[in-house]
Amino acid sequence: MNDRTTSDANRQSWAHRIFAITLFVEELATTKTFYQRVFDLPVEYEDENSAVFKFGATMINLLKTPAVGELIEPAVMANPAAGAQLVFTIAVDDVDAMCAKLAARGVTLLNGPMDRSWGIRTASFQDPDGYIWEIAK
């Protein structure tokens, strides 16, 4: 580590953890059911426009697209047909075993399990709204 990186690491940033990530979804009920089945998580909070799941200390908020404007105006929501723009990665103990569990839960993998050139084993899948989730070890 260089001196700048070391000194930066010793400072406490105001941005020390991600509290919540909001995903825009077309069919809230379908996506909520997917998250319950695939991730085996309870719904932490829900109303007519959203459902929240807690991944460790980070909340994933599924927000119906008609409610997005109020959250992000004056910005506009991107067209989902434009393609994937991010990947969420969850660390697991055994990628192959988790892939077998995901298959039993009805998940179709996009790729993997495979050993990546950067030294980790991964596999990826999509939720009903096209968000990509990767498992890695």
What residue ranges define each of the domains in the chain, with the CATH number in brackets?
A: 18-77 (3.10.180.10), 79-137 (3.10.180.10)
**Is residue 67's pLDDT more than 50?**
yes
The residue with greater pLDDT, 11 or 119, is 119
By three-state DSSP, how is residue 58 classified?
strand
Q: What is the arithmetic mean of pLDDT over 73-98? A: 91
Query: DSSP per residue over 59-78, as a string?
Result: EEEEEEGGGHHHHHTTS-PP
**Is residue 133's pLDDT more than 70?**
yes
- The model's pLDDT over 105-123, given as tens digits with 9 standing for 90+, comes to 999 999 999 999 999 999 9
Q: Are 131 and 88 in contact (CB under 8 A)?
A: yes
Q: Are 127 and 31 in contact (CB under 8 A)?
A: yes
Neighbouring C-alpha atoms within 13 Å toward the C-beta of 30: 9
- The model's pLDDT over 22-64, given as tens digits with 9 standing for 90+, comes to 999 999 999 999 999 999 999 999 999 999 999 999 999 999 9
Task: Give the CA angle between residues 92, 18, 103 to the nearest 5°.
Answer: 30
Q: What is the pTM of this model?
A: 0.83
Q: What is the arithmetic mean of pLDDT over 72-97? A: 91
Residue 30: φ, ψ to 5°: -65, -45
Q: Please state whether 129 falls in left (phi above 0), alpha (psi between -120 and 50) or beta.
A: alpha
The DSSP symbol for 118 reads T
- Alpha carbon distance 33, 18 (integer Å): 24
- The model's pLDDT over 94-108, given as tens digits with 9 standing for 90+, comes to 999 999 999 999 999
CB atoms within 10 A of CB 29: 11
